[in-house]
Amino acid sequence: MTREAAPELDLRPPAAPRRLRLGVAGLGRAFMLMLPSLAHHPRIQLVACADPRPEARIRFTADFDAPAYADFGEMCEDKQVEAIYLATPHQFHAAQVARAADAGKHVLVEKPLAVTLAEAASMVERARSAGIRLLLGHSHGQDGPVLAARRMITGGEFGAVRMISTLNYTDFLYRPRRPEELDTAQGGGVVFSQGAHQVDVVRLLGGGLVRSVRAATGAWDPTRPTEGAYAALLSFENGCAASLTYSGYGRFDSDVFLDWVGEMGQPKDPTRHGAARAALAGLPDAAAEAALKTTRAYGAPGQPPGLPPAAPPRFHNQFGLVIASCERADLRLTAQGVEIHGDTSRLLRKTPLPAVPRGEVLDELCAAVLDGAPPLHDGAWGMATLEVCLAILQSAREGREVALHHQVAPKDD
Q: Which of 83, 114, 136 is the last residue of a domain?
A: 136
Q: Is residue 356 part of a domain?
A: no
Q: Is residue 367 part of a domain?
A: no
Q: Is residue 65 part of a domain?
A: yes
List the CATH number of the domain containing 345: 3.30.360.10
Q: Is residue 375 part of a domain?
A: no
132 and 148 together in one domain: no
| Pairing of β 20-25 and β 346-350 | unpaired
Domain of residue 261 covers 143-351+389-403
- The better pLDDT of the pair 156, 296 is held by 156
List the CATH number of the domain containing 46: 3.40.50.720
> What DSSP element (H or E) covers 229?
strand 229-236
75 and 195 together in one domain: no
Task: DSSP letter for 336, please.
Answer: S
Structural domain count, the chain: 2
- Residues 206-244 have pLDDT tens digits of 999 999 999 999 999 999 999 999 999 999 999 999 999
Q: What is the mean pLDDT of residues 66-91?
A: 97
Q: What is the mean pLDDT of residues 290-301?
A: 90
- Spatial contact of 132 and 106, defined as CB atoms under 8 Å apart: yes
Q: Is residue 4 part of a domain?
A: no
293 and 151 together in one domain: yes
290 and 196 together in one domain: yes
Q: How confident is the model at residue 303 (pLDDT cuts 50, 70, 90)?
A: confident
Of 103-112, 257-266, 278-287, 347-356, the one with minimum mean pLDDT is 278-287
Prediction pTM value: 0.94
200 and 126 together in one domain: no
Q: Is residue 9 part of a domain?
A: no
CA gap 313, 394 in Å, rounded: 38
238 and 286 together in one domain: yes
CA gap 208, 381 in Å, rounded: 8
Helical pair 379-398 and 117-130, crossing angle rounded to 10 deg = 170
